[in-house]
Amino acid sequence: MLYLYLSLSLPCLIWAQQSALFSDAAAVALGRAVAASPRESWWAGNPAAGVGEVSGVLAMQTAMPYGLPEWTVSGLAVAKAVGTGRWTLAMQTYGLAPEQRYLGLMAGYGRQLNERWALGVQLASLQEWVQGYGVRAGLAVKAGLQWQLSEGWRFGCIWQPYVGSDFGAAGLSLGVERSFEAHLRLLLDLQQTADAALPSWRMGLEYAPIPALQLRLGLSLQRGLTGFLRVYAGAGYAFAHWQLDVATEFHPYLGFTPFLNLQRQISKRSGLGGASRLNH
């Protein structure tokens, strides 16, 4: 019986880990609608997001696909501003030791071009060790662009032209963010990947009843082998120079995947009129 369960659920578990890789709690809670989000997301977001806001950050992340501790995802990221740009280094790992282990390393650079435009690029190295099958490795390339049209409207684009060794699929995401005053914002993404005949839709809603607290809800309609309606929820809390984010993703058959992020803001700078976060 256990063998049958694992045989049926293993593809979904692998998908969950790969979707958790380079995903943080705030992005997940918003349904991963991150193309136009101004929030700096050290793993999953637009490489152009938040480049004019932060000069130094240390972030830690963990996720447990469907509540299975053996498959826990762990990550660490550091970001440092240089001039009008920002360098980011991140690492994440998961696996079912000693049978399987996965490691992702990411380097990114984002730059504020002017008061309205920001551009970013990322390069990730992905490796998987499977007992009895050796090692496979691949590269993933991502570029992002954001445009602040006005105080309440932001548009974004994420282009992933290449993902090696079947670690994912190349694709394009287009997004829009509509913010209302300082406490409510709505995000909508349209994503098309090379392995899907139809695009996927992602939507996120964030509400801040007080400046330090953010409540988030997300929905996504995904296509393909594991595609159906998914529901996401989470919250964030800012205190002193710290930001804590939690989220959960619900699978209708396998249950919940919890996410947790903790980041320490070393220093902050005033941007060039670009992104602004709800928890400033």
What does pTM read for this prediction? 0.83
Residue with tokens 């943080």: 24
Provide the residue-wise pLDDT of the chain in tens; the chain has 280 residues.
Answer: 433 333 344 444 444 445 555 678 999 999 989 899 888 766 677 888 877 676 788 888 888 888 888 788 889 999 888 877 889 999 988 877 678 888 889 999 999 899 899 999 999 998 888 888 888 888 989 999 999 999 899 999 999 988 876 677 788 999 999 998 778 999 999 988 877 777 889 999 999 999 999 999 999 887 655 557 889 999 999 998 899 999 999 877 778 899 999 999 876 654 443 333 433 3
pLDDT in the model for residue 279: 38
pLDDT in the model for residue 237: 97
pLDDT in the model for residue 50: 79
Structure-block tokens of residue 254: 């396998």
pLDDT in the model for residue 280: 36
For residue 33, the one-letter residue type is A
pLDDT in the model for residue 215: 97
Is 15 exposed, middle or buried, given 0-12, 13-18 or 19+ CB atoms closer than 10 A?
middle
Other CB atoms closer than 10 Å to residue 168's CB: what's the count?
Answer: 21
**From CA 28, how far away is CA 88, in angstroms rounded?**
20
Which one, of 3, 88, 29, lies nearest residue 278 by Cα? 29
pLDDT in the model for residue 212: 94
Structure-block tokens of residue 77: 């990221």
**From CA 215, how far away is CA 20, in angstroms rounded?**
20
pLDDT in the model for residue 252: 76
Domain spans of the chain, in order of start:
2-268
In the chain the first and final C-alpha atoms are separated, in Å, by 51
The strand ranges marked E within the chain are 54-63, 73-82, 85-96, 100-112, 117-130, 134-150, 153-163, 171-180, 184-193, 200-210, 213-221, 229-239, 242-251, 255-268
CATH architecture under which domain 2-268 falls: Beta Barrel (2.40)
Which one, of 38, 117, 114, lies nearest residue 280 by Cα? 38
Helix residue ranges, H only, the chain: 2-20, 25-29
pLDDT in the model for residue 174: 94
